[in-house]
Each structure stands twice: as structure tokens, then as C-alpha cells.
Chains A and B, each alone.
Chain A
Amino acid sequence: MAKELWKGNEAVAEAAIRAGCRCFFGYPITPQNEIPEYLSRHLPEHGGCFLQAESEIAAINMVYGAAGSGVRVMTSSSSPGISLKQEGITYIAGAELPAVIVNMMRGGPGLGNIAPSQADYFQATRGGGNGDYRTVVLAPATIQEAADLTQEAFDIADVYRIPVVVLADGMIGQMMEAIEWHKPKTRTLPPKDWATDGTQGKRGHNVVNSLFIDAKDCAEQNRKLQAKYDRITENEIRLEEFLTGDAEILFVAYGTTARIARAAVLQLRSAGVKAGLFRPVTLWPFPEQALRKRAQADSVQAVIAVELSMGQMIDDVKIAVCGAKPVRFIGAGGGVIPAPAELVREANTALGRQEK
């Protein structure tokens, strides 16, 4: 298939349509506005419903209702808006509904700014709302991957009855790249026999609910959720490695920063430093075992976490590396993007080398 030039936000929106998304509920916020704008025009052409809600809170609760009624549904927002959606996300997780939530992260805390950021890592990978729960978190580094992962997010959501977060940043959302449209690998999807779409007098009533008032029942629901999270950790971890086989310096980065780290790896290699990149594609479940194994390799002298934040993923990196190697950090908050040269400098410092 021929390559087409797509803007990240519009590719995510088109991917949702191709994945059979029938409903989108959202609220405007920069830098993700092209997603609702695209869907307001094109979702109705496919028989779907686009609705601009009165708030992010209303939008995510519309997602809850639509997901509970058995249709494929998505919402998108950016950091402060995602904070507002956390009420609904924990209910969706608790009621075990499938839904896709896109976060094109921007600078924070508070109103922050509209520049690219990765400072919502903690919020995304630790649930984000109240209670013990997780969301699957997919982190695309290219527009191609954003299109592919958004489509697959719907299948993952349906298979596990779980909210899936596509976690990117303003850079991925606003950038244009050439992509090809692929269909995701076929999965067997379970029937939605739990959906509230009317009993038609043929079955008992279905109830979509996250309330378990008896402590024993609530404990059991938590155990059930944890068993699901264990299955996802078993089956869905994804990562990409770039020139890690003999690496002395192991960069760990996802999304936009992985692209910068990749450039730094090539610069270091051309200067004779064996650098490599370990890129988690799923941030939850985090590829902990794979990173531990890689970091324990004799060649690795230092691990460097690179993030558009003041250091969040580095906690997972440290858990994975488990003291086997020194873990260093390079990053910035608020939309400042490190250049490959800064990563090169950090690598040389880690190795005790003078830059030429």
C-alpha cells in the first residue's frame, strides 16, 4: 500500500474509525484538538456518533455509558483534561469496561503549557484515579506506530475488558510523517454478553457497576482484577531494542524521547562508543524482566533514562535494573526537549570519557 502523509492526531482519529470505533466523546484542549475535529467530520460518515461534551468529566462518563452498552468508544484529551477524566477511568476500570483513552501530554503541573511533555507517566501507569487498578498504556514513538497501536488498543480493551491509554505527547500529535495503513493482527474477541443493550425479554438484566458494598465482595473483585493484570503482564509486554547487543551505554526512553535517544546512539556509535536504546512500547505493563536481563549484560556500564519530565519512568527503570548497574537521568519538564548532543555528553560522562 502506498505511503500517505498524516498528522499524528488525525492518524489516531482515522485509526479509531478503522478499528470500528462507533462513539467519540471529548472536550477541546490543546494539543489534541485535531482528534475531535477529525472525528466530528468523519465519524458520522461511518454511522458513528461524535459528541462534544460539556466537560472532560461528562465526556468520560459518556464513554462509560457507551462502553457499558457494548459499543467501541474512545475519548482523547491532554494532561489537565486527563486529570479530570480520572473519575470516569477508575469507574471504567472497576466496572471492567473496554474503552480507549488518548492522552497527548503537555507541560504541567497545573495549567503548565501546551508544549510536548511526558510528565503524566506516573498518572498513566499507576492507574491515575482512586483504588487499585491499572490501565494498559501504549506509547507510540512514530505516527505509524500511533496509527497501529490505536487500532490495536480497541482489541486489547475488548479482550481484557480494560481501559487502554494511548500515551503520546504534543510532538507525536502535531508532527506529520509518512505512514501505511495496516490491519492489526487478528485476535479472538469475547462476546459482549455483559452489555446493557436491553434484555429483549431473553435474559436476566445486565448490570454495569463498580460498587461492591460487602468487603468480601470488594476484596474478591480486587483479586479478580489483579489476576487480569497478571495475565496482561504475561501476554502483552512490548518493547523495541536498537543496537543493544554489545552496548556499554543503555539508553531507556519511550515515545518522542526514544527518537532523540536513537539519534544519540548513532552519534555515539560513529564516535566509537557502543550505545544502544531500550524502548518500552507498553509502559504498563513495563518490560521489567527484559530490561533487567539487558542491563545485567557484562557489556553494559551505565543505564540512562531519558524523559520529558523531571524523572518518572526512571523509577521503573531502577526497579528493573535492581542495582545491577548505575542508573543516570537526563530530562526536563515543561516542554524543553533535550538535544541528542546532551545525551552524548551524558553517555561520555558516565563512561568517564572526555568529549573530543
Chain B
Amino acid sequence: MSIVYQRSKGLTNAEMHYCPGCTHGVVHKLVAESLEELGLIGSAVGVAPVGCAVFAYNYFACDMQEAAHGRAPAVATGIKRPHPELTVFTYQGDGDLAAIGAAEIVHAAMRGEKITAIFINNAIYGMTGGQMAPTTLVGQKATTAPYGRQKEHYGMPIRMAELLSTLDGCVYAERVAAVDVPNILKAKKAIKKAFELQNAGAGFTFVEVLSTCPTNWGLTPLEAVGWLKENMIPYYPLGVYADRAEAK
């Protein structure tokens, strides 16, 4: 009998706490498999966020640090600068990265910090119970936007991949979606490429992963996949926004 599939060595045996239908588990798997396939588990350090993925430090088998809300890129900078031989990544949600940590992510990208940021965009604050995120779509309901996000009050949702791609230090920015097999395969390819570019010393690398939050969207897991495709992808188009590695 041959083994056709098994848990990545990049993950611990800890049972994950994520809700049914949430795509955090899928993205954890893609990160772990990428580290394993590149032989990096022993030389990688991850930085967990505050939010739903706060316990990511229990799930990844590499060394981990837990950062304050939004500060993961600064923490990752502190790890990477004295240890250029390490592969350092942050794993952050949309409140963490695009709201409270907006300064840290922009400046890490500006400096061309040789780290990889994995950005989970599910258009909502998950852990705290469904409050509005900077990525919440116009009209989308949240516990702090009970009538839906209003453009006049909060402006339009922020597109981080596009924003960061304007910075020269950001050598690679791609937006993917963790919703079906073709998209999940593309997401893994992007994550792996980001790690490879980091280790080649190219600069800051960024992968935005459109993700589902059935619990706070008030949908079933399957409905959530449909909602993401119908509503998020049109506003957050998938694709490569920066690929400056060739120019190096």
C-alpha cells in the first residue's frame, strides 16, 4: 500500500480550532507544504498575528513568534535582520495587516524587507465576531456596519496587493483565492514562489489570499465559496501585481 497523501511535516499534530468551511486550514497547509518541499522547515520562522490565526504558532512546525496586533512585519524585520539565513514569514488577516498594521506592512515593503507576508483577506474581523474590516465590501453587513458598509462613511475597501505593488521594494505581489482546486493550486504556486524569491534575496514578497468566513458571513461553507467568487473576486481581481524579480 502506498501513501498518496499525508499531513505536511511543516504542520504539528495540534488540532486546529478553525470553523467549518474556513479556509485558514487550507492556507496553513499550503504554507507548510511549500516550506517542506523547499526544505525550509528547520530554517524558517513564522510570525503569527492577532485575529483568527492567533494560534498559528501551535500549528506550524517551524519556530514561531506571536506578534502584537498588526506588528508582525516589524517583528519579522527584527528576526530577519540579524538572521539573513532564515526564511521569515508573517501570516496576517485583514484587520491586522490592512488596518492597525498598515504602517508596518507598507514600510516593510518599502524597505524591501526580505520576508514573505501571507495576507488572508476574508473581508471581515473574524475572531472578534464579525466587525467591519477595511476590506469589507460596500454594502456588506458587519456587526459594526449593521446596514452594510457605506461608501460615504468609510470609503471604498482597500486593495493591498495593488497598493504594495507600487513600492519598488515589493518584488512580488500576487492575489489568489483559496476556494477550489485550480485556485488552491495557484495559491500554493504563489506562496512557494514568494519563499523562493525571499531566499534569493530579491526583496519583500506578498501573497494575498481571498478567503471565506462562513461563520461571520452568515453562510454555509458552500454558499461562502459562491459569495467569494461572485462578490470578492470582481472587486479584488486575482493575478500578479508586482514581479520585479526579473529586474534584479
List residues of chain A with CB under 8 Å of any chain B CB: 22-23, 25, 48-49, 51, 53-55, 57-59, 61-69, 71, 73, 87-88, 91, 95, 196-202, 205-211
**Chain B, residue nearest A206 (CB):** B63
Q: By CB atoms of chain A within 10 A, which of B63, B71, B76, B104 has the most?
A: B63
Q: Are B74 and A208 in contact (CB under 8 A)?
A: no
Min distance, Cβ A86 to any Cβ of chain B, angstroms: 11
Q: Are A64 and B64 in contact (CB under 8 A)?
A: no
List residues of chain B with CB under 8 Å of any chain A CB: 12, 41-45, 47, 54, 57-58, 60-68, 71, 74-83, 85-86, 103-104, 106-107
**Chain A, residue nearest B100 (CB):** A57
Q: Are B107 and A23 in contact (CB under 8 A)?
A: no
Q: Are A23 and B82 in contact (CB under 8 A)?
A: yes
Residues of B within 8 A of A207 (CB): 57-58, 63-66
In the assembled complex, the Cα of A199 lies from the Cα of B36 at a distance in Å of: 13
**Chain B, residue nearest A210 (CB):** B66
Q: Are A57 and B78 in contact (CB under 8 A)?
A: no
- For the complex of A and B, list the 7 residue pairs with the smallest distance between their C-beta atoms, beginning with the closest: A65-B78, A196-B63, A65-B75, A61-B74, A62-B78, A66-B78, A61-B71
**Chain B, residue nearest A201 (CB):** B42
Min distance, Cβ B131 to any Cβ of chain A, angstroms: 20
**Chain A, residue nearest B86 (CB):** A198
Residues of B within 8 A of A205 (CB): 12, 60-64
Residues of A within 8 A of B60 (CB): 205
Q: Are A69 and B77 in contact (CB under 8 A)?
A: no
**Chain B, residue nearest A59 (CB):** B74
Q: Are A208 and B81 in contact (CB under 8 A)?
A: no
In the assembled complex, the Cα of A48 lies from the Cα of B84 at a distance in Å of: 12
Min distance, Cβ A162 to any Cβ of chain B, angstroms: 18
Q: Are A66 and B79 in contact (CB under 8 A)?
A: yes
* Interface Cβ pair total, 8 Å cutoff: 136
Residues of A within 8 A of B45 (CB): 69, 196-198
**Chain B, residue nearest A73 (CB):** B78
Q: Are A23 and B63 in contact (CB under 8 A)?
A: no
**Chain A, residue nearest B76 (CB):** A65
Residues of B within 8 A of A58 (CB): 71, 74, 77, 103-104, 107
Q: Are A211 and B74 in contact (CB under 8 A)?
A: no
Q: A23-B81, A205-B12 given as contacts; is B62 within 8 A of A54 (CB)? A: no
**Chain B, residue nearest A62 (CB):** B78
**Chain B, residue nearest A87 (CB):** B68
Q: Are B81 and A64 in contact (CB under 8 A)?
A: no
Q: Are B12 and A25 in contact (CB under 8 A)?
A: no
Residues of A within 8 A of B61 (CB): 199, 205
Q: Are A88 and B12 in contact (CB under 8 A)?
A: no
Min distance, Cβ B90 to any Cβ of chain A, angstroms: 10
Contact of A91 among B41, B43, B68, B106 (CB under 8 A): B68
In the assembled complex, the Cα of A51 lies from the Cα of B150 at a distance in Å of: 40
In the assembled complex, the Cα of A53 lies from the Cα of B73 at a distance in Å of: 11
Q: A54-B104, A61-B104, A208-B64 given as contacts; is B81 within 8 A of A198 (CB)? A: no
Q: By CB atoms of chain A within 10 A, which of B58, B79, B85, B107 has the most?
A: B79
In the assembled complex, the Cα of A239 lies from the Cα of B162 at a distance in Å of: 57
In the assembled complex, the Cα of A48 lies from the Cα of B81 at a distance in Å of: 9
In the assembled complex, the Cα of A68 lies from the Cα of B80 at a distance in Å of: 11
